[in-house]
Amino acid sequence: RKEVEQDPGPFNVPEGATVAFNCTYSNSASQSFFWYRQDCRKEPKLLMSVYSSGNEDGRFTAQLNRASQYISLLIRDSKLSDSATYLCVVKQGSGGSNYKLTFGKGTLLTVNP
């Protein structure tokens, strides 16, 4: 099982649609979880952290299920500007030799007019 695995995509959705991305991780000792967004030919940027109780930021909702080692990102009312690659990121450790931040391969989302 890969350390961080995401839906392969690509996802093509119309404006206004709701779309969900899933991500699974293999290391049960993983401590923190994040979603990053990467526009075409640009650098990744943090979209949101994922908290144990689930969290929402506007149209975006992130959820974590530690028992199933699974996180998700839900985007409601999709906008054209949401078109990007979404990267699932998992962190183990906090410093020194045990630190590790692992990125998933990303899921490409295209929102169509």
Q: Which is nearer to other proteins, 78 or 88 (CB)?
A: 88
Q: How far is the CB of 48 from other proteins (least distance, A)?
A: 10
Q: How crowded is residue 79: how many other Cβ atoms within 10 Å of its Cβ?
A: 11
Q: How far is the CB of 91 from other proteins (least distance, A)?
A: 5
Place of tokens 């839900």: 74
The site for other proteins (CB under 8 A) is made up of 4, 32, 34, 41-46, 49, 87, 89, 91, 94-97, 99, 101-106
Q: How far is the CB of 46 from other proteins (least distance, A)?
A: 5
- Residue partners of 97: CB distance under 8 A and separation at least 6: none
The tokens describing 50, both together, are 């994922």
Q: Which is nearer to other proteins, 10 or 16 (CB)?
A: 10
Q: Using an 8 Å Cβ cutoff, are 104 and 5 in contact?
A: yes
